[in-house]
Amino acid sequence: MHIGKKLAATVALVGTVFVGGVVAAGPAGASSSDMGLGLSTGHNVGAYADYNRINNADKVAPDLIYNANRNLTDGVEVDCWSDRGATLDRGNRWYHTKTEYYNHLGYSLHVYAWTYAPYVDGEAGIRAGLQYCNY
């Protein structure tokens, strides 16, 4: 019986250490600068692999949809912005996007992409202090 108690205590301790390691690793991997942004400019938004190759063949996820009438506008989670991408009709500022929220369809995707900041939110995330990517 004494060996059984030691074994149970050891298993409990190992489980605690493992859980403690997982909990400690979670916050270390998260960026404090990530920002969730809903589409707010009336534009649909493409998600591109390369912010300098803007065509349908370069899309890595379905278009994000702005839908003011049904309150189901899509959104993105971004971690930084860049001004090194293609210049479109409103400049060259792009969001490095980590997650695409397809609220109109009820799901999200975790695909790294670039989204055109002026079409996402008029660059509000940049003005709110989102960090610069430096790439």
Q: pLDDT tens for residues 6-57?
A: 433 433 333 333 333 322 223 334 455 899 999 999 999 999 999 999 999 9
Model pLDDT for residues 99-128, shown as the tens digit of each residue: 999 999 999 999 999 999 999 999 999 999
Please write the tens of the pLDDT for every residue from 49-94.
999 999 999 999 999 999 987 778 999 999 999 999 999 999 999 9
For residues 28-40, b (16+ Cβ closer than 10 Å) or e, as one string? eeeeeeebebebe
Residue boundaries of the structural domains of the chain:
1-30, 35-127
Q: pTM of the full predicted structure?
A: 0.76
Task: Please report the pLDDT score of residue 69 as a whole number.
Answer: 75
| pLDDT value, residue 93 | 98
- pLDDT for position 49: 98
pLDDT of residue 72: 87
pLDDT score of 12: 38
